[in-house]
Homo-oligomer: A and B are copies of this chain.
Amino acid sequence: MSTQEALSALSQLLGDRLSRSKSDLAAHGASETHFPPAPPEAVAYPETTDEVSQIVQICARHGVPVTGWGAGTSLEGHALATRGGVTVDFGRMNKVLRVNPEDMDVTVQPGCTREALNQELRATGLFFPVDPGANASLGGMAATRASGTTAVRYGTMRDNVLALEVVLADGRVIRTGTRARKSSAGYDLTGLFVGSEGTLGLITELTLRLQGQPEAISSALCAFDEIGPAVDCVIATIQMGIPMARIEFLDAASVAAVNAASNTGLPVMPHLMVEFHGSEAGVAEQAESFGALVEDFGGHDFRWSSKTEERNALWEARHRAYWSILASKPGATAVVTDMCVPISRLAQAVEETRADIAQSSIPGPILGHVGDGNFHAILLVEQGNRAEMEEALALSGRMVERALTLGGTVTGEHGVGMGKLGYMESEHGQGWEVMGEIKRALDPANILNPGKVVRGN
């Protein structure tokens, strides 16, 4: 059988870095959320780009699927080996290769996590800003076009990847760009591979933009009676050009869960959490301007702080919100939705979603990156309860349709994976066909993460 031949060739190439242990297969067949397990037939642990190229060539020769694996933190089942084959785990390719402080860029291997990178950068005065919450691998973040709390200021992975090294479906290795800050030299291959979820190539090296660590950081927190004025306050803040580094929304249910888990003692009503980066005088001015807007829009309980511990405690609580919410229903698993709409439609999107959830039997706190028009409902489903799962998936489906009706996208930052494939045609129409044409041009035998992103793949 050809898979056996491939595995035997891979075993010769990698020795004990090709694993077929049950626990390894199970670990690489599971996801963070509700998708059923889908283990690969083997897990490869390459150490070099050349090894990745050889792995892909062997699998291509035998028609064996190849799926990339970073830190396993994706929420849409991207890295599940739904057709078996070989999972390429980048855990051993996790180095920071070159920091260029003058150019404010860094080159890393794909298995390096964002926290490890920022740890390594600490002494340089620089940091990598994209922050999806989880300690994801940078290769995975690029592959899924991740973003998170700081995208409102620093952009998504689309904006922060300067260049990639990629192994293509036939084993060719390409570089998609240089370290120049900008280029108009032909098609934007970097942009094409960022967000392609391992279906066009495997990322083996990334050159990333860095930012200077701000001289000062301050945070602000405020409560609103209703969602509408909170969102209007955000719109006004953006229009005034106040350069928030983060601006997060939590609904009353999210605040209740955070209070329960972190003793934050906040009033149980909708909140905005904001962070400012800049000079000492700058962040004070930003916080003051924001405070005035909060008052204009009827917000209250405004407080701000530039003290590191207070700030960290607050954002720790925000980062743990997903787990706090999960803990609020013991034994639950989560269906995490990911709507993103033009910000003028955000209040309507959140309110309709909240009303829809309220009519269901499923708890679903809402929180999100309100400066981008992006929010999540964490739908809590009793594990193994099929009726609840169906109800949650129906809710999720209505949210996707609502996002499209309101001029938005079916997934703001979590990617397509298993969960959003069924909505791609609704969002993109003929554009989805074009994606398929590109896929077939670059991976005609369909061995790279088959079953994801494009039709009939």
Are the CB atoms of B435 and A438 closer together than 8 Å?
no
Are the CB atoms of B151 and A182 closer together than 8 Å?
yes
Give the chain B neighbours of A407 by CB distance below 8 A. Answer: 178-180
Mind listing 8 A-B residue pairs with CB under 8 Å? A151-B182, A174-B429, A180-B372, A180-B407, A184-B195, A188-B188, A188-B191, A243-B243
Closest chain B residue to A146, Cβ basis: B184
Are the CB atoms of A184 and B102 closer together than 8 Å?
no
* Contact pattern, A 54-81, Cβ under 8 Å of B = 1, otherwise 0: 0000000000000000000000000000
Give the chain B neighbours of A176 by CB distance below 8 A. Answer: 431
Give the chain B neighbours of A123 by CB distance below 8 A. Answer: none
- Lowest 6 A-B CB distances belong to which pairs? A191-B191, A441-B441, A183-B409, A102-B344, A145-B184, A174-B431
User: Could you tell me the distance in whole angstroms from the C-beta of A159 to the nearest C-beta in chain B?
Assistant: 6
Give the chain B neighbours of A340 by CB distance below 8 A. Answer: 180-183
Q: In the complex the two chains form, what is the Cα distance from A183 to B339 in whole Å?
A: 9
Are the CB atoms of A195 and B188 closer together than 8 Å?
yes
Are the CB atoms of B411 and A183 closer together than 8 Å?
yes
Asked whether A180 and B409 contact (CB < 8 A) given A125-B239, A428-B186, the answer is yes
Give the chain B neighbours of A278 by CB distance below 8 A. Answer: 241
User: Could you tell me the distance in whole angstroms from the C-beta of A257 to the nearest C-beta in chain B?
Assistant: 25
A205 located at the interface, meaning its Cβ lies under 8 Å from any Cβ of chain B in the complex? no
A238 located at the interface, meaning its Cβ lies under 8 Å from any Cβ of chain B in the complex? yes
Q: In the complex the two chains form, what is the Cα distance from A82 to B93 in whole Å?
A: 47
- Interface range for A: 35 or more
Near B by CB (< 8 A), chain A positions 131-146 give: 144-146
* Contact pattern, A 136-176, Cβ under 8 Å of B = 1, otherwise 0: 00000000111100010001101100000000100011111
Asked whether A103 and B182 contact (CB < 8 A) given A187-B453, A188-B192, A278-B241, the answer is no
Copies of this chain assembled into the complex? 2
Q: In the complex the two chains form, what is the Cα distance from A456 to B446 in whole Å?
A: 26
Closest chain B residue to A343, Cβ basis: B103
A414 located at the interface, meaning its Cβ lies under 8 Å from any Cβ of chain B in the complex? yes
Are the CB atoms of A431 and B188 closer together than 8 Å?
no
Closest chain B residue to A152, Cβ basis: B181
Give the chain B neighbours of A289 by CB distance below 8 A. Answer: 279
Are the CB atoms of A189 and B158 closer together than 8 Å?
no
A185 located at the interface, meaning its Cβ lies under 8 Å from any Cβ of chain B in the complex? yes
Question: Looking at the complex, which of A21-29, A39-47, A208-216 is the stretch in contact with chain B?
Answer: A208-216
Are the CB atoms of B215 and A185 closer together than 8 Å?
no
Contact for A184 among B174, B411, B432, CB less than 8 A: B411
Closest chain B residue to A452, Cβ basis: B186
Are the CB atoms of A187 and B195 closer together than 8 Å?
yes
Q: In the complex the two chains form, what is the Cα distance from A369 to B408 in whole Å?
A: 35
User: Could you tell me the distance in whole angstroms from the C-beta of A293 to the nearest C-beta in chain B?
Assistant: 13
A442 located at the interface, meaning its Cβ lies under 8 Å from any Cβ of chain B in the complex? yes
Are the CB atoms of B179 and A342 closer together than 8 Å?
yes
Closest chain B residue to A76, Cβ basis: B184
A447 located at the interface, meaning its Cβ lies under 8 Å from any Cβ of chain B in the complex? no
A412 located at the interface, meaning its Cβ lies under 8 Å from any Cβ of chain B in the complex? yes
* Contact pattern, A 7-37, Cβ under 8 Å of B = 1, otherwise 0: 0000000000000000000000000000000
Are the CB atoms of B185 and A424 closer together than 8 Å?
yes
A229 located at the interface, meaning its Cβ lies under 8 Å from any Cβ of chain B in the complex? no
Q: In the complex the two chains form, what is the Cα distance from A428 to B159 in whole Å?
A: 20
User: Could you tell me the distance in whole angstroms from the C-beta of A241 to the nearest C-beta in chain B?
Assistant: 4
Give the chain B neighbours of A1 by CB distance below 8 A. Answer: none
Are the CB atoms of A194 and B188 closer together than 8 Å?
yes
A282 located at the interface, meaning its Cβ lies under 8 Å from any Cβ of chain B in the complex? yes
A399 located at the interface, meaning its Cβ lies under 8 Å from any Cβ of chain B in the complex? no
A437 located at the interface, meaning its Cβ lies under 8 Å from any Cβ of chain B in the complex? yes
A2 located at the interface, meaning its Cβ lies under 8 Å from any Cβ of chain B in the complex? no
- Further 17 A-B residue pairs, CB within 8 A, beyond A181-B343, A184-B411: A102-B235, A102-B343, A158-B191, A179-B342, A180-B403, A183-B412, A184-B195, A184-B415, A185-B423, A186-B453, A187-B453, A188-B195, A189-B434, A215-B241, A241-B278, A282-B282, A437-B442
Q: In the complex the two chains form, what is the Cα distance from A410 to B180 in whole Å?
A: 10
Give the chain B neighbours of A372 by CB distance below 8 A. Answer: 180-182
Q: In the complex the two chains form, what is the Cα distance from A361 to B175 in whole Å?
A: 37
Are the CB atoms of A431 and B189 closer together than 8 Å?
yes
Asked whether A144 and B103 contact (CB < 8 A) given A241-B278, A407-B178, the answer is no
Are the CB atoms of B172 and A430 closer together than 8 Å?
yes
